[in-house]
Amino acid sequence: LGMAGNLADFVMIDKDGAVKKGSEIDYNGAPGGYAADPTEVVNYVSKHDNQTLWDMISYKASQEADLATRVRMQAVSLATVMLGQGIAFDQQGSELLRSKSFTRDSYDSGDWFNRVDYSLQDNNYNVGMPRISDDGSNYDVITRVKEMVATPGEAELKQMTAFYQELTELRKSSPLFTLGDGSAVMKRVDFRNTGSDQQAGLLVMTVDDGVKAGASLDSRLDGLVVA
């Protein structure tokens, strides 16, 4: 739904096979869809509050996930923002696997935890324990995760930067990624692999620019498939 701009009237098939509008999809007790146009929505998977995307992946990914897999997880997470409708917002350093060493709220943690290394030598992972006032209850978990998850090096940071550059170029490559108007999204955007028989972990979005979609927005394409 977020990739369709969180539109209140966008119709989709949920995991149980039910046809629902965005406004009928529950998001922590509130409607998941609430916008009339995608330009009313700022989409993100990581922001200044709470842990960085890399730290959250370190927390939540399977113990068997190696470093290369975790880098791809970061890229896929950012792709849902960069290749979806709506205004894309990425936290500073997300393209660099930025870590705050599991610090949840770092406004008072200084440069030691907030540092961003644009030389691609280090992502600031595992540089210390976050403040006990905010994260003390997580110390045991943080310690175990730090022992389990390796620190990314220059190769991983360069790979992630290359992934992000590709996402940026893709978003700029076609106006179909930034429709802007709610009626255009509802006419052109659809999701495949839906319902109760869907393949788990596979998200497929199509954006139509064929004869049934209305005026052509990209003379080079009849549509897009994002998977």
Contact between 218 and 176 under an 8 Å Cβ cutoff? The reply is yes
Task: Specify whether the CB–CB gap between 209 and 197 falls below 8 A.
Answer: no
- The answer to whether the beta carbons of residues 21 and 33 sit under 8 Å apart is yes
Contact at 8 Å (CB) between 97 and 126? no
Tell me the per-residue pLDDT of 23-60, one tens digit each, with 9 for 90 and over: 999 999 999 999 999 999 999 999 988 999 999 999 99
Percent of the chain with pLDDT over 70: 100
Give 211's pLDDT tier (boundaries 50, 70, 90): confident
- 157 by Cβ neighbours in 10 Å (0-12 / 13-18 / 19+) ranks as buried
Give pLDDT, residue 212.
82
The whole-angstrom separation of Cα 225 and Cα 103 is 37
pLDDT digits (tens, 9 = 90+) for 110-133: 999 999 999 999 999 999 999 999
Q: What are phi and psi of 182, to 5 degrees?
A: -60, -40
pLDDT(62) > 90: yes
Look-up: residue for tokens 């950012």? Answer: 78
